Structure 1
Amino acid sequence: MLPVATADGTAAAPLTALFTATSAVCVTGLVVVDTAGYWSTFGEVVIVTLIQIGGLGIMALASLLGLLVARRIGLRMRLAAQTETKATWLGDSRRVVLGVIRLSITVEVVVAALLTLRFALHYDEPIGRAAYLGVFHAVSAYNNAGFALWSDSLTRFAADPWIIAPISAAIIVGGLGFPVVIEVIRAARRRLRREPHRPHWSLHTKITLITYGLIALIGIIAITGIEWSNPRTLGPLDSPGSLLAGAFSAISPRTAGFNAVDVGAMHPATLLITDVMMFIGGGSAGTAGGIKVTTFALLAFVIITEARGEPTVHVMGRRLAGSVQRQAVSVALLGVGAVFASAVALMLITPYNLNEVLFEATSAFATVGLTTGITADLPDGAQLILIGLMFVGRLGPITFASALALRERGRRYELPEERPIVG
């Protein structure tokens, strides 16, 4: 809200500042004002700083600061870091936190360098401005935030692979989740060293990589096919440009929020497909939002097992615990409830149709940042709803519900069993 944060030197309205700050720290990307035109350089630096903090995770950052100050991580901070980064065991927390920081900085530096060279050499930007644009969009892409310093996001670069490809790579690496990326890197190192034992991937990594890849492939085929002849999206581009922009339009909802074509001009079927992709999101313990691909895959495994009539869920040589299945169902249903209730509320207080408000609610909950163009025109009440959705979506539905419950309750007895009719 400081006057120095805006381009014209006028203090931003409290709701505008709150919405922007929430969207940045929740790595969403929805905006009610034009980021490039409304905020000053100082304001943009505040935004990108919030993006970095939100993407790394508050407790992961706090753990790093504690490590730097005290040269060690205490038990309480290690427990918090374990929760934030999904470390597999307590002794691993310190190493995982440092690994997360190193991974983040490495990816952001590489992507920023590639973007800087492209902006400077091809678009004739001064080297200082090119570096600023490169760093801002590298941080925004890796943290799946979707903030851009152009009013049309990345539509002007829709057919430029030297801009789209590095940003897409950063989105994927950040969206897969820290545990998966770190495990893949460690396995690759063991292969390069030609160690005698074959690298072993955990069940979580296998499920994440397979499900993420399948959903991305289906999304690319569906969105590119539907929009191929749309004169307001992919139609004006040549074939390579259409394929590039179509692929990016399927990668971005996982949950980056950049757009290479006009989302508001997409076919209703494309918007519905994008809704589903946004709701599923990316990998756990990363910068992506949504219910996560592992949750979606676990629900699919439960359905397949039930259809086969088998008593327990087996996946890739492992049996899934009942608690994991209950968590998956809880996350999915709480997510559906949050999006449904918010969409109904938005329809009651805004003049927009179901396609538009459902897209907006899903984008906010899944911390995506894509919009059909209605965000800035929403009334104050609708903006407050989106702020709440972004906050809940970033925390995670099950985390939010557990926080409200305050404590885990044990049960010392079981009631007599009865089986109601299902279906």
Structure 2
Amino acid sequence: MDIRRLFQRNLRKSRFFIANNVSSIQVIVFYYLIMTILSLILFYLPIFRQPGSKASFIDLLFMAISTVSVTGLSTFNINHIFNDRGVLLLEILFQVGGLGIMMISTFFFIVSKRKISLKQRQLIMTDMNQPRLSGIVRLIRTTFVILLAAQAAFGVLFSIYFYIRGYYQNWRDAIFYGFYQSISAVTNSGFDVTGDSIRPFANDYFFLIAIMILIFIGGIGFPVLMDIREWFLYKRKRHKSKLPFRFSLFTKIAVLAFVILFIGGALLIYMLENNHLFAGMTPGAKWINSLFYSMTTRNAGLQIHDLNQFQTTTLIIFSLLMFIGCSPSSVGGGIRTTTVAIIGLYLYSFLKSEDNINVFGRRISETDVRKSVVVFMLSLGMCFFSVLFLTAIEDQPLIAIIVEVTSAFGTTGLSLGITSDLTTTGKVIIAILMFIGRIGMLYTLLLFVPKETRDLGYEYPTEQIIIG
């Protein structure tokens, strides 16, 4: 009896120690590491592999990280290693990596009507990059339904469309690849399981527009989807509500940043490739191609041309868009659109000699400004030194390495075809970039920062220095 009581007391102490010394960020990172290891083990199972297929440990580990981070980079031809069951496995892992481990597990908690504890809510908040606990469960329920509904609806649409248009000669293949393209686009995974990505659809503008819609749904941010849903409900019941509907500041900034990057990126791509790769196309086709690449480079990684056909300047624009990525709390990576938006607003306020950053009738907090600057500078530094190091150890063109690094960090998946030719060290670096891109640079930094802010209890005198 004494031994059992001693054991129970020590167990309570250990739980208290873990709860108070392990942050939510560390727990989330641990979950993604476990998911990566589980994916690696599953990739070794013969049931998911082509007969006689061979892949090294580092290549399968690279594939596991790329899958969980929904990047899309691969060191081998997927259709040479995985069979149809393996592709279905990838689709399941896309959901885990894109929607997030905590979102999926919480949704099953909701369905089974199990109580969600405060600690679980904190983990959800961390995994979804949310600033507060209130409404987090409702956000998950709404977002999960919207994303699954989009995948199912467009999966059915693509299946019928592929068969009618003759892309696939039987219903099995039409359904199989129809749902794959839908899931791949919503989760922004971008894996090429056929060897041609979506090049066969290069002139199918209906399909390209549909893919862009799905990429937008996955990358605009879960809170934005929530706000859009609430807005539609408000419009339907407007006569019953006494208060006007108000979009959140996050939604306004995320949508504004998306529109500017989407249209601005398309304009630059159009001007650069108008008389180059797009020469000979109709004006409508040029714009569709420009809009598509402006969208897909921000995270999806789907392509309808060989990237080596683009000019170097265009590839630099691609790299910049991949570095920025999607909105926070979405399926995408990168430094995120709101980070760039806040830095841009900060510069604008500085040029106007204003002390505060005011936008849409609200003031941006100094904490958010500092976070944005830190994320931008650390991410830029990490990508710069990654390019520098890979240039020293890899026999590849500089622009190819820049595209590879930004594609990994932005979890995009576009490449000039050098991924399989990288050395083992190079693959490890790219894999680390993919993992950091998935969990976010800010959370990566906070892994090594104490949970509590240090208060020195005193302040040094202020002294100005010469700048510029």
Question: TM-score, normalized by length of structure 2?
Answer: 0.86
Flag structure 2 segments of 5+ consecutive residues without an equivalent: 1-43
Q: Flag the structure with larger Rg.
A: 2
- Counterpart-to-counterpart distance in 2, 1:26 and 1:124: 30
C-alpha displacement at 1:328, in angstroms? 0.4
C-alpha displacement at 1:36, in angstroms? 2.4
Is this contact kept in 1: 2:70–2:189, CA < 8 A? yes
Aligned to 2:466: 421
Aligned to 2:367: 323
- What secondary structure, in the 3-state scheme, does the structure 1 residue paired with 2:460 have? coil
Q: How does 1:327-342 map to 2 (within 5 A)?
A: 327-342=371-386
- What secondary structure, in the 3-state scheme, does the structure 1 residue paired with 2:150 have? helix
Aligned to 1:103: 146
Aligned to 2:115: 72
Aligned to 2:399: 355
- Counterpart-to-counterpart distance in 1, 2:291 and 2:369: 32
- What secondary structure, in the 3-state scheme, does the structure 2 residue paired with 1:73 have? coil
- What secondary structure, in the 3-state scheme, does the structure 2 residue paired with 1:254 have? coil
Indicate the larger mover: 176-185 or 39-48: 39-48
Of the three residues 98, 102, 108, the one matched with 1:55 is 98
Q: Which amino acid aligns with 1:244?
A: I
- What secondary structure, in the 3-state scheme, does the structure 2 residue paired with 1:404 have? coil
Aligned to 2:20: none
Cα deviation digits, residues 352-377 of structure 1 (max 9, x gap): 12211111100000101011111111
- Counterpart-to-counterpart distance in 2, 1:214 and 1:241: 21
Is this contact kept in 1: 2:55–2:81, CA < 8 A? no
- Counterpart-to-counterpart distance in 1, 2:234 and 2:129: 22
Aligned to 1:384: 428
Q: Which amino acid aligns with 1:191?
A: K
Cα deviation digits, residues 393-413 of structure 1 (max 9, x gap): 111011001012242332133
Is this contact kept in 2: 1:347–1:354, CA < 8 A? yes
- What secondary structure, in the 3-state scheme, does the structure 2 residue paired with 1:319 have? strand
Indicate the larger mover: 111-120 or 413-422: 413-422
- What secondary structure, in the 3-state scheme, does the structure 1 residue paired with 2:193 have? coil
Is this contact kept in 2: 1:339–1:361, CA < 8 A? yes
Aligned to 1:19: 62
Cα deviation digits, residues 26-48 of structure 1 (max 9, x gap): 01111111122332112212222
Flag structure 1 segments of 5+ consecutive residues without an equivalent: none
Mark the CA change 1:159 to 1:243 in structure 2 (over 3 Å): closer, same or farther. farther
Question: TM-score, normalized by length of structure 1?
Answer: 0.95
Q: How does 1:202-217 map to 2 (within 5 A)?
A: 202-217=248-263
Q: Which amino acid aligns with 2:258?
A: Y
- Counterpart-to-counterpart distance in 2, 1:238 and 1:149: 30
- Counterpart-to-counterpart distance in 2, 1:182 and 1:27: 22
Q: Which amino acid aligns with 2:266?
A: I
Indicate the larger mover: 157-166 or 206-215: 157-166
Q: Which amino acid aligns with 1:358?
A: I
Number of residue pairs matched?
Answer: 421
C-alpha displacement at 1:11, in angstroms? 4.7
Q: Which amino acid aligns with 2:341?
A: A
Of the three residues 280, 297, 300, the one matched with 2:324 is 280
Indicate the larger mover: 308-317 or 236-245: 236-245
- Counterpart-to-counterpart distance in 2, 1:68 and 1:292: 31
Q: How does 1:91-170 map to 2 (within 5 A)?
A: 91-122=134-165, 123-170=167-214
Is this contact kept in 1: 2:69–2:438, CA < 8 A? yes
Indicate the larger mover: 109-118 or 7-16: 7-16
Aligned to 2:245: 199
- Counterpart-to-counterpart distance in 2, 1:284 and 1:273: 21
Q: Which amino acid aligns with 2:346?
A: V
Q: Which amino acid aligns with 2:459?
A: E
Aligned-residue Cα RMSD (Å) equals 1.7
Cα deviation digits, residues 278-320 of structure 1 (max 9, x gap): 1111111001211111110100111111112222221221111
- Counterpart-to-counterpart distance in 1, 2:299 and 2:420: 20
Mark the CA change 1:33 to 1:246 in structure 2 (over 3 Å): closer, same or farther. same
Indicate the larger mover: 389-398 or 115-124: 115-124
**Percent of paired sites with the same residue:** 29
Indicate the larger mover: 387-396 or 161-170: 161-170
- Counterpart-to-counterpart distance in 1, 2:220 and 2:349: 26
